[in-house]
Structures are given as C-alpha cells and as structure tokens.
Amino acid sequence: MKRQFADNELDTSLSRVDGNEKVSGAATYSAEYAVPGLVHAVLVTSNIAKGSITAIESREAETAPGVLAVISHLNAPAVPGWPALKQPAERAPVGTAFRVFYDAFIYFDGQPVAMVVADTQERAIHAAALVRVTYQQETHQTHFERNVKSAGIPQNVQRSKNSPFQDYGRGDADAIAEAEVRIEAEYTIPTQHHQPLEPHAIIAVWEANDKLTVYDKNQGVKSAQGQLAQAFKLPRDNVQVVSKYIGGAFGSGIRVWPHTIAAVMAAKQVKRPVKLVLGRDQMFTSVGYRPYTAQKLRIGASKDGRLHAMVHEGTGQTSMYEEHLERTVLATRAMYTCPNVSTRYRLLPLDVNTPTWMRGPGDATGMFALESAMDELAFALKMDPLEFRLKNYAETDPERNLPWSAKSLRECYKLGAEKFGWENRQIEPASIRRKGMLVGYGMASSLYGFHRHPSKARAVMRADGSVTVQSATMDIGPGTGTAMTRIAAKVLGLNAKKVKFELGHSNLPDAPGQNGSATIPSVGSAVHVACEALKSKLIALAVKMSEAGKSGGQVVVTDGQGVRNGRVFGSGADDEGVSFADILKYHKLNELEATEESKPGPERDQYSMFSFGCHFVEVHVNPLTGEVRVVRVVTCADVGAIINYKTARSQSIGGVVGGIGMALMEHSEMDHRFGRYVTTDFASYHIPVHADIPPIEVYYVDKPDVHVNPMGSKGLGEIAIVGVAGAVANAVFNATGKRIRTLPITPDKLI
C-alpha cells in the first residue's frame, strides 16, 4: 500500500518529454522568439510611493538615436476596454486593477510611468535614463506594524455573506479561557517574492489592426487571451497567446500584469513588434508577492493533550486599489479535531502594489503559524509533537462535517517518522550536540484544498497509430507534458514514445491556468476522458472490421475487450489483436479524433477534499554565530495516485527548497522613508543556493482517491511547501530553545 520512492521507480518513471529541448538550449521562452522587425521597450518607473506626476520631460529621450517612442499617460494609445478618464481625474476605487499609463496618479514606488521603445536594447536603456519625471509627492503609508490598527474587514467580504473569509466560529468563542493548558503567540511573515529565474517577458505583435499575438510569460494562456481581448476589445479568437516554455512562476504569472498591457500598447503605437523584459529589480514591484502577514494564535488543550479551543486571527497587506485575500486562517478550521474554533481575517491597504498568490498561498502562511503553535502547545504539555497531532487527528472534516474523500495523513506521519528516525528526538531543547553544533528535530503537518476545474482535451490518432493530445494547459516547471503523456499512454495502451502532448497555446482546447495544484486533477481528467473516448472509437472500428470478416488475416476481434501495446484485443486467449494503424488503414482514415470535456460533479458537496502531508526536518545551529543549516529533510505526501514518480518527486523536493527559503532567508525589506524595496536583486533577496540544500527524501502514500477524478489523483505543487517553514522553525526551537515567530530565521534572531 505505502510506496516509497525508490530507485527502481525512478527507472520506471518517464523522463521529461521536453528534457532534450531544455538541456540543449532549444526550448524557446517568451523573450526568445525571433520575430522580424522586433524593437525593444524599457520601463521608466516611479521613485515615489504616493502622489501624482506633474511633468514628464521626454524630449531628450525622444531625440536620442534609435528611439521610436516615449509612451506615458500623456500620449498612450487608449485601451478601449477601460473607461474614459473622468475629469477631474480621481484615484481608482478599491477593486480596480492598476491601469498602466492611464492617469497621473502614483499608487506605489516602482510603478511604470513611462516606456521607451527603441531599435536596440542598449539604445532603449540609455534613452530611458534620459526621461525626467517630476511629481507632487504625498505622504505614503507602507509600514505594516505602524498601520496595522487601520486593518479592516475587506469590502469584498462585507458584500458577500457566503465568503469563506467571513468571521468564523464553532462551539464557544470564549472556551479558550477554560483550557487547562494554553499558549498565545503572534507570528509574522514578511513580504516574500516569487522571483522565478526567468524574468517576466513579453513580445507583442499586432498582426493586423484587430489581430494580436503575444509571446508572454504567464500561467494561463486562455485566461491571458480573455483578459487581453477584453482590454483591447477584440474578438477572443483574434488574440493568440503563446507560452510554451515558462521559466518558473510560482504564482507570479496568474494575472495579466500592467507591463503586459504596456507592451501591447507600445506595439500598437510604434506599429512594430515590441519586446519587453522586466529587470530583476522591476520583478519586485511588477508581478505580485506573498503579502506581509501578522497572525495571532491562542490555542488550548486538556492536560491529556486534547485540543479544546483555537482562536486564529490574521491580517494581510494589500494595495490601496485592490483587495488580495488569502486562506491564511482557513486551515485552522479543518486541520484538527477541536470543538471550539474561531477565525478572523483582516486586510491592511498600504501604498504598495497588489500582492498575489505565491506557492501555497495563504496556507503556507497560515500553517507556519498553526504548526508553530501546535509545537509550542505540545511543549507546554510535555508531549511529543507528533503524538499531540495524532491525538487530535480529524477523522472527518470538522468544519463542514463531511467525510474526507480520502485521507491517509496517519500513514504519512508513520512513514515519515520511521524514515526520519523521529524516535531519536529529545523533548528537552538543546539537548543534542554534534561537532559543536546544536542539533534539532522538527516536524509539521501540511494540507491543501483540492481544486478541479472544467477542462477540455483533444486526442488525435494518426495513420501510423501515434497520438497527439492537446490542451491549452501550461508547464511552469512541474512537467505537465510528461504527466499528461503518461496518462494518455496508459489509457490507450501505447508506448509513451508514441504520444505527443501539446500545451501552452491559446488555440488549443480550453483549460484552466496552472495554479492551485489543479492541473493534474483538471487537465489530467480531460486527457483521460478524451483518450477513453478515442479508445472506444478504436474498439468500435475494430469490431466493425471483424464483423465484416476483413481483418486482414488477423484473429477476429469480436468483442473488443481492450487495448495493449498499440493493438485492440478481443477476449480470446490466442487473440493477437489488431493494430491501431491497421484499423485506421482498413477504414481509410488518415486520423481518428476525440475531444472531450471533463468537469467536477456532485462529489464536491458529498465529500471534503484535501491533500495532506508532513515534513520532518533536522537542523544544525551554530551556537556562536546563530547560523542555521538544514541537514536532512523527509517529506511525505498523500495526494492520491501518483502519475509519474520522477517528476512528482522533483516537485516535492522543490516545495521543500522553497519552504527552506521562506523559513531561513527570504525577506523583501522596504525602506519606509521612501516606501521602496531595498532588496532589489539576488544579492539582497536571498533564495536557497546549492550549498543550502541537503538531501531530501520523498515518500508518497500512493493510494488513489476514488472520489476526486478518474485517475484518483490530487495536485502536488502547493502541499509540497505548506508546513515546511513551521517544521524548520520547530526544529530550530528543538535545537536552541528559542522560538522564532518572525520569519525568516536569520542569525541575528538566535544570538
């Protein structure tokens, strides 16, 4: 039942179908399309956080060699999907996505205020430096702690009674006071940025006055197509979005951002294809981030370790013009059995750009706090933290009072603890030293909600029996094409080499964007049913062929039992079957096609659906310098059936690496005098490097969840990171006796 990821499974796994392109440099990312007549754009950004533009002196830039245009709100082509500017102009009301080059208002530092287009990149960079912008500055508020008292209930939530972000309570809200043992603590995570290795980039090409093609870095070609069609008032089919290879995104590509619109505008203005690549510094203010979030937890239990009450309050930051909501406090309602639970979520608007979802959005933040608090309470109870979690294991969803569609978290705990050697942990902190280092063990649980969206896929068999499967899904890194190839090959009884999967183009069948760990559940299901439909057609044609007695000397397939090795078989023991190619040949078909849509059904109301997991971490802390090294990680997940071990394992490892970054180093620091990030590159915004990452062991409880979809498979992207930061913080406490509640856990907090 429990399958660990062993070497032999690596061998039976499929290697990435695009591996060859990626290792040879042949994979083409958004900025790399050789479009004839291409010109280059560079953004000029604001250096105040609030106020308005009073003048833009652009003559010097305009007359610089090679410059084709300097675009700003003073001369930008109208975006027909936006309302005409009111006079006198007013600041955008809450709920308005930032409109680039629309008016003179400044909402955040780093806001695009002008754009230079020139024939070469060097000339565009030079000319951008010649643009002088003057402002009328207003007092900005960017400091979270100083303004947290102004946090309130999001307008969005005030309007919607059924919003999951409404204040929540079950049982008695005051029960925390009666708990025999209780803790109260505040946890903070600072702003953190996705910073994928590939900067966001776009090439915008107006093929005709009403036809637009963009090569764009995003996480959903169909959604980008829709948003661009809406902004530029074009028929949807007149907009093509090509995003075949994406150099990581982690959430930063879920929306169409202002710079994308700016490039499309510029291409319209100069009547040439325009390329815009964001600078690494611009990546801090252009494509969202994990919001600064403060949380307060009060949790209490009986002396024997049964949770009695949990109160979880969270406040996240957002911009002045949009409300970005996260699941921060929601996990606390469902994670453990507890009779009295209340949660509260508030938002604090600041003069910053809007945050967005970043890997494990809300849950990675909330579970850092909850899993730290659980560790604190276990310590107060003098109880093993794993035992404490098992004692409060939720057999059904305590929030919705529904059975889980499947939950094997107990198996995860057992497997992880065994592989890690959890029994060697000492409850008393700082009790193990090795080579002068303080050794600590920590663990945390993980959960992530299951998401499945309607998706379509098309499967086409060619005369030679090979198959092409298509869907407008994406691959930002997990290996979508590889997993889909595996699903198709399995359903069709074909060697994976005979299957080709196409993605990342808006003219393919509808699919959701790649986010919320929903790709395998959604698109995988569509691929599954499309290939099932193709298989049925093949079997029907094979039977017809046999009925006519013309199966070309092959054993007659009377009942078409199934497919194997590229052939349709009957039920006879000696049945040699008939090859797919022969079936098509006999019926004089050049190809055979099936397009299907797959969507979730009533099971969503009958079951509560989550992925679960846990992480075990060993840290070594230098008692003199406070340096924390993660030396070993065991991660274990219950995500239903695993489609392809090799790529799944890499995704789990990647989540742990992201979690180590979140725990120990990632911190976007702002100089509040200017409302400006001072971390604007990889020298100041630290992400893990090779030397920071130890061996990571990955295990799965590979048991299909029969209620979620035809493969019984849930997503993996988010669950891999949720909880990791908590496990690291708990290990640091175990090593040092110091409880660090504000991430990242840097040496200054330990000495």
Q: Enumerate the active-site residues.
A: 718
Which residue in 110, 154, 190, 199 binds other proteins (CB under 8 A)? Answer: 199
| Nearest residue (CB) to other proteins, 689 versus 751 | 689
Restricted to residues 273-302, the positions that interact with other proteins (CB under 8 A) are: 277, 279-280
Assigned token pair, 11: 């061998």
Q: Where are the alpha helices (DSSP H) in 271-344?
A: 283-286, 331-334
| Stretch in the footprint of other proteins (CB under 8 A) among 139-147, 340-348, 590-598, 682-690 | 682-690
| DSSP codes of every residue in 147-186 | HGGG-B--HHHHH-TT-TTS-EEES-TTGGGG-SEEEEEE
Which residue in 6, 37, 54, 122 binds other proteins (CB under 8 A)? Answer: 122
Q: Please report how close the Cβ of residue 652 comes to other proteins at its closest, in angstroms.
A: 9
Q: Please report how close the Cβ of residue 409 comes to other proteins at its closest, in angstroms.
A: 23
Assigned token pair, 361: 């959005």
| Nearest residue (CB) to other proteins, 50 versus 193 | 193
Q: Please report how close the Cβ of residue 689 comes to other proteins at its closest, in angstroms.
A: 4
If binding is defined by CB under 8 A, does position 22 make contact with other proteins? Answer: yes
Which residue in 47, 650, 742, 746 binds other proteins (CB under 8 A)? Answer: 650
If binding is defined by CB under 8 A, does position 363 make contact with other proteins? Answer: no
If binding is defined by CB under 8 A, does position 20 make contact with other proteins? Answer: yes
If binding is defined by CB under 8 A, does position 690 make contact with other proteins? Answer: yes
| Nearest residue (CB) to other proteins, 36 versus 235 | 36
Residues in contact with 125: Cβ distance below 8 Å, sequence separation at least 6, in sequence order: 42
**What is residue 388's three-state secondary structure?**
helix
Which residue in 12, 24, 162, 401 binds other proteins (CB under 8 A)? Answer: 24
Residue 248-277 contact track with other proteins, rule CB under 8 A, x = bound: x-x-------------------x------x
If binding is defined by CB under 8 A, does position 195 make contact with other proteins? Answer: yes
Which residue in 28, 137, 431, 558 binds other proteins (CB under 8 A)? Answer: 28
Distance of CA 659 to the CA centre of its chain: 13
Which residue in 26, 177, 427, 540 binds other proteins (CB under 8 A)? Answer: 26
Beta carbons of 628 and 745 less than 8 angstroms apart: yes
| Nearest residue (CB) to other proteins, 697 versus 705 | 697
**What is residue 84's three-state secondary structure?**
coil
According to DSSP, residue 522 is labeled: I
If binding is defined by CB under 8 A, does position 190 make contact with other proteins? Answer: no
Q: Please report how close the Cβ of residue 269 comes to other proteins at its closest, in angstroms.
A: 10
Q: Please report how close the Cβ of residue 197 comes to other proteins at its closest, in angstroms.
A: 4
Q: Please report how close the Cβ of residue 167 comes to other proteins at its closest, in angstroms.
A: 36
Q: Where are the alpha helices (DSSP H) in 108-152?
A: 121-128, 144-147
If binding is defined by CB under 8 A, does position 497 make contact with other proteins? Answer: no
Q: Whole-angstrom Cα distance, residue 260 to residue 735?
A: 47
Assigned token pair, 700: 């799965």
If binding is defined by CB under 8 A, does position 203 make contact with other proteins? Answer: no
Q: How many residues bind other proteins (CB under 8 A)?
A: 75
Distances (CA, A) of 165 to 324, 332, 349, 576: 11, 13, 16, 60
In terms of Cα–Cα distance, which of 383, 325, 382 is closest to 354? Answer: 325
Q: Please report how close the Cβ of residue 636 comes to other proteins at its closest, in angstroms.
A: 16
If binding is defined by CB under 8 A, does position 477 make contact with other proteins? Answer: yes
| Nearest residue (CB) to other proteins, 21 versus 323 | 21
If binding is defined by CB under 8 A, does position 35 make contact with other proteins? Answer: no
Distance of CA 463 to the CA centre of its chain: 39
Q: Please report how close the Cβ of residue 499 comes to other proteins at its closest, in angstroms.
A: 18
Q: Please report how close the Cβ of residue 185 comes to other proteins at its closest, in angstroms.
A: 29
Q: Whole-angstrom Cα distance, residue 524 to residue 520?
A: 4
Beta carbons of 225 and 506 less than 8 angstroms apart: yes
Which residue in 57, 89, 95, 120 binds other proteins (CB under 8 A)? Answer: 120
Q: Where are the alpha helices (DSSP H) in 287-408?
A: 331-334, 363-381, 385-391
Which residue in 101, 102, 187, 245 binds other proteins (CB under 8 A)? Answer: 245
According to DSSP, residue 524 is labeled: I
Which residue in 408, 551, 651, 734 binds other proteins (CB under 8 A)? Answer: 651
| DSSP codes of every residue in 177-201 | GG-SEEEEEEEEE--B----SSPPE
| Nearest residue (CB) to other proteins, 154 versus 661 | 661
Largest Cα–Cα distance in the chain?
87
Assigned token pair, 427: 């409850």
According to DSSP, residue 393 is labeled: B
| Nearest residue (CB) to other proteins, 341 versus 725 | 725
221: left (phi over 0), alpha (psi -120 to 50) or beta: alpha
| Stretch in the footprint of other proteins (CB under 8 A) among 172-180, 221-229, 253-261, 652-660 | 652-660
**What is residue 606's three-state secondary structure?**
helix
In terms of Cα–Cα distance, which of 627, 645, 608 is closest to 691? Answer: 627
| DSSP codes of every residue in 260-273 | HHHHHHHHHHHTS-
Q: Please report how close the Cβ of residue 694 comes to other proteins at its closest, in angstroms.
A: 8
Beta carbons of 376 and 721 less than 8 angstroms apart: no
If binding is defined by CB under 8 A, does position 537 make contact with other proteins? Answer: no
Restricted to residues 693-712, the positions that interact with other proteins (CB under 8 A) are: 693, 695-696
Residues in contact with 335: Cβ distance below 8 Å, sequence separation at least 6, in sequence order: 367, 370, 394, 445, 447
| Nearest residue (CB) to other proteins, 106 versus 278 | 278
> What single letter denotes the amino acid at residue 178?
E
Restricted to residues 52-81, the positions that interact with other proteins (CB under 8 A) are: 62-70
